[in-house]
Structure 1
Amino acid sequence: MISKYRKQFNQEFSQEKYEKVKNLIKEKSGIEAGFRLSESPLFLTKEFEAKLLDASESIIDQIKKLPEGTLEKAIPENCNVPNDTQQPHFFTIDFGICRSENGKIEPQLIELQAFPSLYAFQKIFEDTLCEVYPFLSEIKNKMTSEELKQHLTELIIGDENPENVILLEIFPEKQKTSIDFVLTEKLLGIKTVCLTKVKKEGKKLFYENEGKKTEIKRIYNRVIFDELDKIPDLKIEFDFREEADVKWITHPNWFFKISKFLLPMLNHQFVPKSYFLHEFPEAENLENFVLKPLFSFAGSGVNLNPTKEITDAIQDKENYILQRKVDYEPIFEDINGEFSKAEIRLLYIWRENEDRPVLLENLGRMTKAAMVNVDFNKKDAIWIGSSNAFFAEE
C-alpha cells in the first residue's frame, strides 16, 4: 500500500537476509519459532491506521456500554472460574485487510479476544526486522522495547516478586507459541510452568523453582481452559474451577466473554454483520456468510461455505455464529510479482481500574490461501506467515 517502502524492501530483500532475521531471533530466544515467519512486513498507510483505531475505539465503547451480566452469558457452566475481574488484562482485535465496495482499502473485523498473544515475541520480531533492514527504523512502532517491558512488568508481575509469578500453560514445550514463553521469561524474569506441575495445598498453589517449593501468587495465564477436556488421561492437582489464593492475569472467564459471542452485538462500518446461528434471519442468504464456532481457537472449525444441510445438523446452534463474508484484498506484492493477503491483530493491555486499554504492538499474518493460516498455503509460497505492520504516510 505504500509503494515507496514496498519497492525499497523488495529491492533489498534476499533469502540470506530472511535467514538472518530467523537466525537473529533464534539467538535472542534460544529456540526456533514454531510457526512460519513471513519474509516481509506489512506496509500500511497512516490513513489505514486511523481506520483501525477508529473501529477499535468504537468496539471498546460498545463493550463498555453493554448491560451488566451480558458477557457472563458467554461462559459455559462447566468452565466458570471463581473470582472474576471487572475487565480483562489483555485485549486483542483482528482485522482483515479488505477492499470496500467504493474501492478503498479498509479493515474489516474478523474477531476479538481477551487472551494474551505474542506480546514479547512481536517486539523482538519488529526490532530484528529493523536490524536487518535499517530503513524500517524510520517508521517503526513508537512504543520502545523498554516501554513495552515496563507495561508488561506492571501488568503481569505487579508488586510481587517475579519468583511468585508464573506463565502457566499446558505442555508449554509442545506449543507453537513456545518462543513467546521463552522471550517472556527473559523479559520479565518469570518461569513458564506446566499445569501438570502445579501443586495445591488448601487454597494455595505452588511450583518447584530450582528445587525449592515456591508459592504462586500471580498467574500469567496461557491455558485455553476448554481445551483441557480434549487431552486424554490428563492428571492435574489444580482445577481452575476451585477457589485458589491467586491473581489471574488475565482471568480465564474473559476468554469466553470477549470472543465471537460479542460479534452480533457490535455495529460499525468496519464490523461485518454477524448473527447467532439460531437467530439467523430467513431474509439473509447463507452463501454470504461464514460459519464459526464461538470458542474455537486458531481458526479451527470455521466453514467458509456453509450449507443449510450443515447448519440444520448442528444441535447447539447458540454456540455458533454466521458472520458476513469479507474479501481479503491481495495487495502485498512479493519479489515474483505475486500478491499476498493479510490480517492485522492489535495487541492491547487493559490495566485494572483504567478506563481504556493501551495499544502496545501489532501482529500481522500473511497468506496466499483462502484462510489466513499457513497450513492452507502451498509449500513453496513466500510472503506468508507471521509478520509485523509498519505505518507511514503515503
Structure 2
Amino acid sequence: MEKALSRRREDYKVLCGTCPDEQCRAKLFFPAYDKSIECTSCGQRHEKSTLQNIAEVTNPSVALHNILKNILLGNVKPKKGPDNVKVLGLSNYVCKLVSPILTRYGMCKKTGKAQLLTELGQPPVFDCGKILGDRAFVIDEENLSITGYGRDKSGSLKYLSGTLDVIKDVNDGEERLVAIHADGDGHCLVHAVSRALVGRELFWHALRVNLMNHFTENLDKYKDLFKDFVDRDEWNDIIQECHPEFCPRDGEPLGLRNIHVFGLANVLRRPIILLDSIEGMQSSGDYSAVFLPGLIKPEECKSKDGTLNKPICIAWSSVGRNHYISLVGIKGKPPPKLPRYMIQKTWGMPSTLLDKYIELDEYGHCIVGGDKCLSDKYLRHLVSAMEEVYFEKHGVHQQLVADVHQFMYKTSGMKHYLTEYLCLKKDEN
C-alpha cells in the first residue's frame, strides 16, 4: 500500500524542462506521468526523454499556476496545425507568406539585408535553376516525427510501403529515402519540389513564376514536341495554371499535372522522378515517370563541379493521386539510390536520353538528391531579411498574420471563444 502511494506521488509531481528545438528553448511544465509533451511555444510534440534540464517544480504555487495555465490555454488556444508548427524557428505558414517576396528579392552578402534582385545585378525574377539546380534537402532523423515537417501523414505510409520497401532493399536494408509532408493547399507540387530542394516551402511562388515564364518563352518548342498529345488551344490554359494566383473554374480539377512536372524539370535543369505504389508503377498509366530536362542541353544541367545535377524525387501520397509529396534523404546516411528498373519510363522524351541526364553507378543505380544542402542558419537569415520587406510593404509583421491565421481562422479555439464572449457581452447589455 505504501509503495502504491509512493508511486502515485511520483506520478503526480510537476516537472519542468526546456524545449529541445534550438530556436525555441521554451520552458515547459508538465505532470511527471506524461510521456510526451507538446511545446506551448513552437507546437512540436517531444518525447519526455528529449527535453533538456528536466527538474521537479518544488514550489506548489508555481506548479499549480503553470498546470492551470496549460489547461486554460488548451481549452482556448487552438492546436498548432501542420502549417503553424515551428521547426528551428520557422513554420510552413511563415515560409509560404514570404515566398512571393523571394521571387524578386535577394539577400545582400555584405549587409545581410534584402534588396531587389535587379539591385544585386541579377535578373528581376529569382532563377530557380541557377540557384537551386544542384541543391537537395536531407532531413534530421530526430525531426521525422514532427507534424507538418517530418514524415507525411496523408496516407503515403501505407500507400507507398511496397515501393519504399524495394528502395530500402537496394540501400543495404537501411531506410535512406523517406516521404515527408507537403501542404495540400492547391500548390502541393511546388511545395513538394521546394521541400525536396531546401526543406522548406519557401520557393513555391518563384517556382510557379519560373514555370509560367518558361512555358511562355518556349511555347513553340512545346507545341511542336507535344503536338500529338496537346491541342494547340490548350496551351493558354496550361500557362495560366502556373500563375501563383490561379483559381480553376467551377468543376475543373485543382492542381498542376505531368506537363507542369516536365516544365519544372527544365526550369531546374535536373530530372524529377515521380514515384507511385508498386501497382501504379506497373500499370500502363503515366502515374510514375522520369521527367528529363530535355529542352536543356545536358552540359547546361551540371553543377559547378562538372557533374550532372542529381534528380529530386516526389510521389503520389494515395490512390486518388491528387496530392504530391517529397521523398528525401536522411542526414548522416549515404545518399539514397533507386534501382534502374524504377527509372526506365521517361515522360515526353525518348528513354534513350536517360543516360545523358542521369549518372548511374556501376550497379545501374541512380542517386537521389545529393548532399549540397542549404543550411538551416542561412534559411533563417534569408527569411528574416524577407520579413523586413514584408513589414515595409504591408505595415504588419508576418508573425501577427500567422497568429491571426491560427487564432481567428481555425474551426475551433479562439474563434469559437470570441463568438461566445461577444454573445455573453451582448446579453449583459
Q: Which has the higher contact order (CA 8 A, sep 6+)?
A: 1
Name the TM-score, length of structure 1 as normaliser. 0.23
Higher strand share: 1
Higher helix share: 2
Name the TM-score, length of structure 2 as normaliser. 0.22
